[in-house]
Each structure stands twice: as structure tokens, then as C-alpha cells.
Amino acid sequence: MSMSHLYGKDDDGDVEMEKFEITDWDLQNEFNPNRQRHWQTKEEATYGVWAEHDSDDERPSFGGKRSRDYSAPVNFISAGLRKAAAEEVIEEDSDEDEKPIKQEEFPKEFVSKKLKTGGNFKPSQKGFIGGTKSFMDFGSWERHTKGIGQKLLQKMGYVPGRGLGKNAQGIINPIEAKQRKGKGALGAYGSERTSQSLQDFPVVDSEEEAEEEFQKELSQWRKDPNGGKKKPKYAYKTVEELKAKGRIGKQLTTPQKELSQVKPLGKDSKPQAFALPELEHNLQLLIDITEQEIIQNDRQLQYERDMVVNLTHEIQKMSEVLSHEETAISNLSKVLELVEECERRMQPNCDNPLTLDECAKIFETLQDKYYEEYRMSDRVDLAVAIVFPLMKDYFKNWDPLKDCMYGTEIIAKWKRLLENDQLLSHSGQDLATDAFHRLMWEMWMPYVRNIITQWQPRNCGPMVDFLDSWAHIIPVWILDNILDQLIFPKLQKEVENWNPLTDTVPIHSWIHPWLPLMQSRLEPLYSPIRNKLANALQKWHPSDSSAKLILQPWKEVFTPGSWEAFMVKNIVPKLGMCLNELVINPHQQHMDAFYWVIDWEGMVSVSSLVGLLEKHFFPKWLQVLCSWLSNSPNYEEITKWYLGWKSMFSDQVLAHPSIKDKFNEALDIMNRAVSSNVGGYMQPGARENIAYLTHTERRKDFQYEAMQERREAENMAQRGIGMAASSVPMNFKDLIQTKAEEHNIVFMPVIGKRHEGKQLYTFGRIVIYIDRGVVFVQGEKTWVPTSLQSLIDMAK
């Protein structure tokens, strides 16, 4: 407790002095002994008189209560609704309102045993010392102070004894307090509203309803004031609820464990009139056991029902299986009857023996009507027992080379009946699981093997026809075996015995028919054939045309590399010797040697033929031309001689750049001869004829080049390479325009300019015109024909 009211300080404030005068706190303590005590705080206990404290703590309290904590949230008590100010009746002032009201005139419910200030008084004490002042004297203490609150209120229209507000709707009397009966919580003893609060704030609901609701809520946690006991509530569970629960609620435990968990009665617990925990536990145990039995019985019932449904399905399924088995047994019985019938008819003394065609019909019946049984049966053993003897008897007098189609239809039918579809029957040998393969290998193949051993390879026609007829029927591996193990060795042996100089039958006549069947299998035969042909050509002369007849069929059979090597080694040298023997005489020319060489153009490559002409023909030919021009020739005869030799070559050879250069060289020699005027005398019109010949020949060359380029462009357009179908050039002008677009060259007509009636065009910086598919470029003195590629190069 603070002692600041007993001590004081001197003027300097350093020395504390005890004061003994009577203070207001002493008077209040004397007249109010039940005041609230000030308990020493933790800070005061620590620091003593030096502890800091609020001035409010030193002020004595007459209420005997702690000071309120205004920082705590406000709790409101419903007190009804106050009428609006406009609805209140404003009463006029009366003289009675101004009269002082004595304390005896207050109603008893407005008189509290304790003062409104909250001070604690003894029950015998009737009021505060000095009596109660009237409302007329309210605020009169301001006369002795400097307070101006009363004056300010009067200036603003306040009338003493009336409420505040525009319409005087404020309350007049101070808020009254109502003492509770005991020390219970708020509302524990009913409504705490005073008559004043009921008058100022009337309640909408009636007091009876509020009291009834309050007592109803209170009875939930408080004992009945009448001392009665609550009526026990019982919870019932039906069997359906237990079934829906479908599980055991709690595990059963031993009674000892349950008893050990019962709380003992303590000192503070009130004794019960009837408390038997053992009996309660036993009853609860019986309830739990009953619930579990109900749940288990329900589960057992459901299990039995499910078992009934399952057995029903099993019965239905087994009935279907039984029906299927009965059908299978019936079908197998019928199949067995057919097989026994076949065996009976195959007996030697049978009146109606079984034929291969009838046996095929029986197997067709088995496959169509009893497919499952037929597929599951062992067809290999069945075919061996029934079909093989019939097949052996069917082919006993067969000669494949005389009648190659014999038995193809019946064997094709047996292939459909016996071949195992699930196996790759045409990719490998599988005699153990495929009856047809075994049938062909054991019954058909011996006849074929016997025939091939007696066959002569040079008589290839019947054997090739036989294998072609059976290739789609017999398994592939059997055909491969025939070609690799039987046919090829015979051909190889025959090639070794072949002599191209003495044999009158060409080798290609009995080797090439095997190409469709054997294909690459014949490649090992090609090398010995080339060697034998090379040996035969050692003493050959180009005048013998039989060599070409023998070699020509092999051009497409040999690979291009091997064929070209064979030609260069064995044919080209002979042709070169023939050209060396050629004598060029303009007055009496013998062309046989030249024809012998040119006749091999299709056999020898163009490059090889051009090499022969450059080396053995054109040097002599140009030398003869120069000698002729130096002896005052007839240029008309020279022109005919030039054109005649040129006509002896094909277009493909003339298109070669080397051949073209040689003929252009001849034209240049003739042009120099007529320009130099050697000998003094010049034949009239010779110069013009030679110039015309030169122009015409070069024009033909360019036309041919343009035609080739146009053909290539058309082929590219047809293949769709580099351009769409809509952009295919329709003429030579379109082709030039397409090329110009590809190389970013400007190609456009020259307005108002023509040459010999032909439109002039600009191709880049070059002026050209087009005449019958030939491009002419403007030179220094005349128009020169040129190729399209040369035109593009000049424009770039």
C-alpha cells in the first residue's frame, strides 16, 4: 500500500517529511471502513516508495469495487427500444417539476441500499452523511468554482429539470442501479431492469415470454430450483440401423479392465442413491454382444445370398459348358464316322475305292461343317494315313516335262485344306506341323527330282514352263531347293562345257529363260561366260557380225560396269585397228570399215566411240580437207563431201562436244580458205556458199541444243521437279522466261523494235530475238545463234 499520503517533501523536494494533519482520505476512511483496499502491486513490492503509481490509485473509493477497465470490450444488456423523439409527448412545464423532491417521496424500488456512487455502506445505514440534495440544487456547487458548464447549457436552450435534445427527449433522472439478490452472474436472478429503464426503453416482447425463455435456457446448466431430477433420455437402436452400420462399434474388453477404469468417488463427489458400476458394465456388455451378433448374422445372411447368386451363375455357366461339350462330342463322333468311312474305302478289296478327288471333298466337308474339330485335330497324321497313299497312286505315271499342268488343280485344293494358316508356311521348312508341306516334300518332290536328273539344260523350255506352273502352289522353300540344289548345278556344269566357237546354239538361248525364276542366282555363271567370250574374241575382226549377235543379248544382263569393261578390253581395240585401216579418199571412198565401226554404236558407249573417232578418224579427215582446199577445189563438192560425212553420224554422236568441235574446225578451215583467196582465182559464189553453210550448220547445232533443253525442261515439269504443273513452259519463249526468273534476269520485249519481222527482247543487257526455237544474239556485225545456257552466262 502506498504511503504517499502520510509523507511529504520539503521545498527542495529532496528530504521526505512525515505529516500529521487530518486529510480527506482520513475522513473517508473513517466514515467508510468497508472501502476497497489497495493491494500492493509487484512493482510497489520491488521498489517501495519509489515505485510509480497512478494518481487514481491514491483516490479513495466509496463503491468498494475495483475501478473499471475501460480498455476491455463493452458488454451490452438488452433493455428494449426507446420510442422516437417525434413520438414522445412533450409535456409542458409545471410548477410541480420545479419543486424539490424529498427522499421519502421516491418509490421503494428507486431507493437503493447503496449509494449511486457505488460506495459500500452498512445495512443499517440509511443514506450518505449530509442527506440527499434535491434536483433543483443539482450543479449548485459551481457557484463556488469557476465552472461554466451550467451557463453554457442554458445559453444553448437547456431548461433545468427537462431532458437534453431538440425535443427534450433526453432522460431527466440519472441512470439507476438495481441490486441483485445474491452474488450470482448477470441475469442469474431475473431481469435487472429498473422502472425508469422500462419507462424510457420499453421492451417489445412481453416479460412472461422473456422470463420463460430465460428459465428454459437456465435449466440447461443449472439444477432445478425445486430440487427435482432431470428425466433420463434413452437412445434406441433398431436392427436396421445396426445392419446399416455394418461393423462392430467397439472392441469387447474384459470386465476387470472396465472396472479398473471406473472413477472412484472422491471426497468432493456427492454420494448417489443407486450406483452399481458392475451391473452397468454387465448390461452394457450384453448390449454390445447383442449388437455384434445382429451384425454378424446380417453379414452371414448377405454372404449366403451372394453364395446363392454365385452358384446360380456357376450352374448357368456349367450348363453352357455342358451343352458345348455335348455339341463337341457329337461333332467328333461325326468326324470319326467320316474318317472310318475313308479307311474302309481304302481297303484293297473294297467295292467302291476312294479316289483323291472324293477324299478332297470329304476334307472340305470336315473343314466347312466341323472347322473347330478339324483345326484342333492332328491333320498331319490324318493326311499321312489317308491322303499320301492316294497321292502316290495319282502321280505314279506323271511326266512333268510332257504335261506340266497335271495335278495343279487338285494340289491347289489340298493346299487350302491341309496348309496351316497360323504358320508362315512359305518362309521355312516345317514338316512336323504342316501336312501340305510334308505331302509335297514326300510325295511330289521325288517325281520332280527324278525328272530333273534326266533333264538336259539346253532344253530349258519344258522345265521352265513346269516350274512356272507350280511356283504359286508349292511352298517357297521347296522351289528354292529345286533351283539351288537341282537346276543351278546342271546349268553350271553345262556352262563349263560350252564353247562359243564350236557350239551352234547361242548360250543366251538356254540361260536367259531362267532369269525370271533364278534372277541373282545366275550371277556366278556370268564370269565364266565373259571369260569364254573374251577368249573367242581374240582372233575376231569387226567385219564378222556374229560377235555382235552373240554379245548383244548380254548387255542388259551384265552390270553396266562389267559390260563397259568387257567392251573396252575386247571390242574397242579391234574397232580402233579398223579405223586405222580406213583410207579417206574424196574421189573414191570405201565405207565398209567405217560401217563396221559405226555399227557398234549401240553396244559401245558414246564416250568410247567418240574417243575412237578423235584418235583414229578426224585427224586423217581434216588433213584430207586441208589438202583438198589447197588445190583450187570445187567448193560445192567440198560442201557435199562435208555434209555427207556428217550425215554418217547419229544425232547422239553429233551432240557430243568433241565431235561438234571437230566439224566446227572443218568449217573454220573452209572459211579461212575462201577468205584468204589463195591461188588468185576464186570460184563465183564460193564465199557466200561457205558462209551460208557455216551459218546453217551452227544454226542446226543451236536448234538441237535448244530442243534438248526444252525436252529436259518438259521432263522436269512432268516429274514435278522444281515447278508446278501450271508453270510448265508451253513454248520456247516461256522456257526463256522461266530461266530468266530462276536466275533473276530481266526479260522483256523492246517496244517498237523488230528484226526481219521478229520481236526484239532484252535479256539482261543483251538484245535477242527468237526464230523457230532458236535464240539469236546481236553481235558486232550480225546476229549469232546461241544456246540458252550460253545466253544465261553472257547475261550474268
**Interval 183-224: pLDDT, tens:** 777 767 777 777 777 777 765 556 677 777 777 776 666 555
Of 664, 689, 720, which residue constitutes the final position of a domain?
720
Q: What is the pLDDT of residue 260?
A: 43
Residue 347 has pLDDT above 60, yes or no: yes
Residue 524 has pLDDT above 70, yes or no: yes
Calculate what percentage of the chain has a pLDDT beyond 70.
70
DSSP letters, 438-449, are: HHIIIIIHHHHH
Q: Which residue has the cell 554422236?
A: 653
Q: How far is CA 523 from the centre of its chain?
A: 50
Cα→Cα distances 508→328, 489, 504, 541, 557, Å = 62, 17, 12, 22, 10
Query: Are residues 791 and 658 both part of a single domain?
Result: no
Judgement on whether residues 683 and 751 belong to the same structural domain of the protein: no
Q: Are residues 645 and 741 in the same domain?
A: no
Domain encompassing residue 783: 732-795
**pLDDT (0 to 100) of residue 674:** 76
Q: Decide: helix, strand or coil at residue 429.
A: coil
What pLDDT score does 117 carry? Answer: 38
* Residue 773 belongs to some domain of the structure: yes
Among 268-272, 511-515, 643-647, name the one with the lowest average pLDDT: 268-272
- Does residue 686 share a domain with residue 569? yes
607 and 664 fall within a common domain: yes
Element holding 331 (H helix, E strand): helix 277-345
Residue at 494 is within a domain: no
Percentages helix, strand, coil for the chain (3-state, rounded to 5) are: 55, 5, 40
Give me the residue label for grid cell 512333268.
400
Between residues 407 and 88, the one the model is more confident about: 407
Where do the DSSP E strands lie in 541-659? Answer: none
Kindly state whether residue 666 falls inside one of the protein's structural domains: yes
Count other Cβ atoms within 10 Å, centred on residue 239.
12
Q: Report d(CA 511, CA 516) in Å as an integer.
A: 11
For 540, counting Cβ atoms within 10 Å of its Cβ (0-12 exposed, 13-18 middle, 19+ buried), the class is: middle
Q: How far is CA 217 from CA 191, 212, 213, 223, in A?
A: 14, 9, 6, 12
Predicted confidence band of residue 309 (pLDDT cuts 50, 70, 90): very high
**Three-point CA angle 25, 27, 29, nearest 5°:** 65
Q: What are phi and psi of 252, to 5 degrees?
A: -75, 140
Higher pLDDT, 401 or 233: 401
Helices (H) and strands (E) in the chain, counts: 34, 7
Task: Calculate the CA 272 to chain-centre distance.
Answer: 78
Give the pLDDT of residue 282. 92
**pLDDT value for 132:** 42
Least confident of 64-68, 227-231, 311-315, 588-592: 64-68
User: Quick one: pLDDT band at residue 227, thresholds 50, 70, 90?
Assistant: low
Query: Which is more confidently placed, 582 or 765?
Result: 582
> For residue 700, is it within any domain?
yes
Instruction: Supply 602's cell numbers.
Output: 549401240
At residue 285 the predicted structure's pLDDT band, cuts being 50, 70 and 90, is: very high
Report the phi/psi class of residue 306: left, alpha or beta, with left for phi > 0 and alpha for psi in -120 to 50: alpha
Residue 232 CA to residue 326 CA, distance in Å, equals 73
Model confidence at 437: pLDDT above 60: yes
Please identify, among 657, 690, 720, the residue that sits at the C-terminal boundary of a domain: 720
| Domain total in the chain | 2
Q: Are the C-beta atoms of residues 713 and 789 closer than 8 Å to each other?
A: no
Of residues 364 and 146, the one with the higher pLDDT is 364
Residue 311, classified by CB atoms within 10 Å of its CB into exposed (0-12), middle (13-18) or buried (19+), is exposed
Are 644 and 788 within one domain?
A: no
Mean pLDDT of 574-600: 89
Out of 290-299, 534-543, 745-754, least confident range: 745-754
Q: What is the mean pLDDT of residues 579-599?
A: 89
* Dist. CA 715–CA 603, nearest whole Å: 26
- Beta strands at 774-778 and 766-771: parallel, antiparallel or unpaired: antiparallel
Least confident of 122-126, 316-320, 438-442, 548-552: 122-126
Closest CA to 747 of 775, 724, 773, 710: 775
Predicted local distance difference test score (pLDDT) of residue 393? 83
Integer angstrom CA distances of residue 620 from 43, 579, 584, 637, 715: 142, 10, 7, 18, 40
Our measurement of the distance from residue 532's CA atom to the centroid of its chain's CA atoms, rounded to an integer in Å, reads 64
State which of 700, 720, 740 marks the end of a domain. Answer: 720
Are residues 613 and 759 both part of a single domain? no
Give me the percent of the chain exceeding a pLDDT of 90.
Answer: 14
Asked if residue 699 and residue 771 are part of one domain, the reply reads no
CA distances from 588 to 543, 583, 623, 641 (A): 21, 10, 16, 12
Kindly give the residue spans of alpha helices, DSSP state H, lying in 677-777: 686-719, 732-742
Phi/psi of residue 32, each to 5°?
-135, 75
CA nearest neighbour of 585 among 617, 552, 621: 621
> Residue 72 has what pLDDT?
56
pLDDT tens-digit readout, 26-68 = 776 666 666 665 667 777 778 776 766 554 444 444 444 455 5
Helix ranges, 77-156 (H): 95-98, 149-155
Closest CA to 437 of 456, 453, 451, 423: 423
Which of 60-74, 440-454, 497-511, 564-578 is predicted least confidently? 60-74
- Classify residue 594: in a domain, yes or no: yes
Quick check: is 157 in a domain? no
Alpha-carbon dihedral sign for residues 419, 422, 423, 426:
positive
636, pLDDT greater than 70: yes
pLDDT value at 733 more than 70: yes
Tell me the average pLDDT of the chain: 75
Report which listed range, 199-208, 424-433, 643-652, 686-695, is most confident.
643-652
Contacts 24+ apart (CB under 8 A), 467-475: 467/517, 468/516, 468/517, 469/404, 469/405, 469/408, 470/404, 470/408, 471/517, 473/408, 473/411, 473/412, 473/415, 474/440, 474/444, 475/425, 475/426, 475/429, 475/436, 475/437, 475/440
End-to-end CA distance of the chain: 119
Q: Which of 196, 216, 1, 208 is nearest to 79 (CA)?
A: 196
Measure the CA–CA gap between 647 and 654, rounded to whole angstroms.
Answer: 9
Q: DSSP secondary structure string, 529-575?
A: HHHHHHHHTTT--TT-THHHHHHGGGTTTS-HHHHHHHHHHHTHHHH
Q: Do residue 750 and residue 626 come from a single domain?
A: no
Are 10 and 17 a contacting pair, CB within 8 Å? yes
All residues at 6 or more sequence positions from 496 whose CB lies less than 8 Å from its CB, including other chains: 528
Is 138 strand, coil or helix? coil
Residue-wise pLDDT for 534-564, tens only, equals 999 988 999 888 888 899 999 989 988 889 8
Residue 757 sits in the same domain as residue 689? no
Element (H, E) at 435: helix 435-439
Cα 93 from Cα 407, distance rounded (Å) = 146
Nearest Cα to 199, choosing from 223, 215, 176? Answer: 176
**65-72 long-range contacts, CB within 8 A, separation 24+:** 65/36, 65/118, 66/36
376/378 Cα distance (integer angstroms): 7
Q: Which three cell numbers stand for residue 656?
A: 557430243
* Cβ contacts of 533 within 8 Å, gap of 6 or more: 500, 550, 551, 554, 566, 570
Q: What is the DSSP letter of 512?
A: G
Pick from 343, 383, 391, 347: nearest CA to 367 = 383
Q: How far is CA 116 from CA 112, 179, 182, in A?
A: 8, 11, 18
| Most trustworthy range by pLDDT among 313-327, 420-434, 655-669, 736-750 | 313-327
The residue among 441, 347, 328, 443 whose CA lies nearest residue 395 is 443
- Asked if the structure places residue 361 within a domain, the reply is no
In degrees and rounded to multiples of 5, residue 415 shows phi and psi of: -65, -40
Q: Is residue 288 a part of any domain in this protein?
A: no
Q: What are the Cα distances from residue 285, in Å, to 240, 259, 281?
A: 20, 12, 6
Cell reading at 378 = 492332328
- Please name the amino acid found at residue 601: E
pTM of model > 0.75: no
| 598 and 747 part of one domain | no
Which range among 71-80, 448-457, 475-484, 787-796 shows the weakest confidence by mean pLDDT? Answer: 71-80
Residue 488's pLDDT is: 93
User: What span, in angstroms and rounded, lies between the C-alpha atoms of 267 and 284?
Assistant: 28
Cβ–Cβ < 8 Å for 211, 191: yes
Q: Is there a single domain that holds both residue 633 and residue 582?
A: yes
